[in-house]
Structure 1
Amino acid sequence: MDELWPNRKTGSDGTIGDAAHQGRDSDHNAWVRDGALGVVTAIDVTHDPNSGCDAERIVNSLVASRDARIKYIIWNRRIVSSTVSPWTWRPYNKKNPHTAHFHLSVSTDKALYDDDTAWSVAQN
């Protein structure tokens, strides 16, 4: 995201969960083990359409790609999963509506979370 939109706002970005995340099941927690290392399998990316980092466009392109690395995406009061009602948007009614950023969780399979293939992300 930073390479595509170097001037994008990052205020709602996140990877490693804060204290609030640590008390619940969250992919922002390093609960996946890779030997002695804990692995975080989620990222939040700030919605900043003025810079071109438009979450709606990005998540739509990710969903269309059906990338095997994707576990689920949360954006704008909706969630889409690769396994639960696969690739169909459903309502998301938890405390954070994810309107300032989108959340991307990836597979816990090492071959997938370590895959550094470029993501299919619409830039325009």
Structure 2
Amino acid sequence: MTWRKGQPWRRVHSLDRLNEQIRAAYPRAVPPATPATAWGSLADDAHSSDSDHFPHYYAALGKVAVVCAGDFPHAPELGLDFGEAAEALRLSKDPRIKYVIFDGRMFSSYAAHGYAPYTWRPYSGKDMHRTHGHISTVATAAADDPRDWQIGEDDMPITDADAVKIARAMVNQKVGGSSSPTVGELLQALEPAIAREGTNPTELAAALAGLPQVDPAKLAAQIASLLPATQVKQLADELARRLAS
């Protein structure tokens, strides 16, 4: 059966998840900062019906035609370096990958043209994919596996429990000790830190003393529950950077 324009189609679930991950990890690069077409899945008139961007019917993926391909922008000035993401995908050897193309190179999960699986090789297509990257998945049931992709160590998702541990560890490292500090203990640690900034420690301590007591562990858990895991990781990294400076 051949899909025709106007008929139902969908993108495989694994690429839905990859799209979510990349958008969450690089929020500055989402449209309109980058063209919506750079995030495309469905084939345009320039693609042949053999393209993975063209919807096909596969028994393992249900009765609706599916697209097993996705494009993602390369926008390093906005934080999204697709070259880094592509290399992370290559190293992951994820079984859902069919092939990836970027910047005049490609790799596939199968041996081709004398190159071993998951090895970069020259790409000879008309579009060198300099401004965006392309990923095709296999056309088996694995393509609908919605597990997270490995798109870079710094962007790997963390659990809420991990976020709580990170926040608690950062506070403990600054204050000292292994137990969760109270606001009073934090106030004692404020003076040497804020003195370096030229702030009056007495005035600041007096202002903070009127605040209700806070359990840092509970606060960290509340923050973690309100933010996507990738944003929690970015927040933790930024806090760690500022506390270390």
* Equivalences for residues 4-19 of structure 1 within 5 A: 4-8=25-29, 9-11=33-35, 12-19=38-45
Structure with more relative contact order (C-alpha pairs < 8 Å, separation 6 or more): 1
1:78-122 deviation per Cα after TM superposition (whole angstroms, max 9, x unaligned): 110001230111110110001111100011012x11111111011
* Equivalences for residues 1-124 of structure 1 within 5 A: 1-8=22-29, 9-11=33-35, 12-21=38-47, 23-33=48-58, 34-84=61-111, 85-110=116-141, 112-122=142-152, 123=154
Unaligned 5+ runs, structure 1: none
1:46-83 deviation per Cα after TM superposition (whole angstroms, max 9, x unaligned): 00112221011100100010001001000110110001
Partner secondary structure for residue 84 of structure 2:
helix
1:11-66 deviation per Cα after TM superposition (whole angstroms, max 9, x unaligned): 22210101221x34210011133443000000010001122210111001000100
Contact 1:72 1:106 in 2 (8 A): yes
User: How many pairs were matched up?
Assistant: 122
CA-based RMSD:
1.5
The structure in which a higher percent of residues are helix is 2
More deviation, 75-84/27-36: 27-36
In 2: Cα distance, 1:106 partner to 1:32 partner: 14
The structure in which a higher percent of residues are strand is 1
Q: Which structure's CA Rg is the greater one?
A: 2
Contact 1:73 1:105 in 2 (8 A): yes
Percent of residue pairs identical = 36
Amino acid at match of 1:42: A
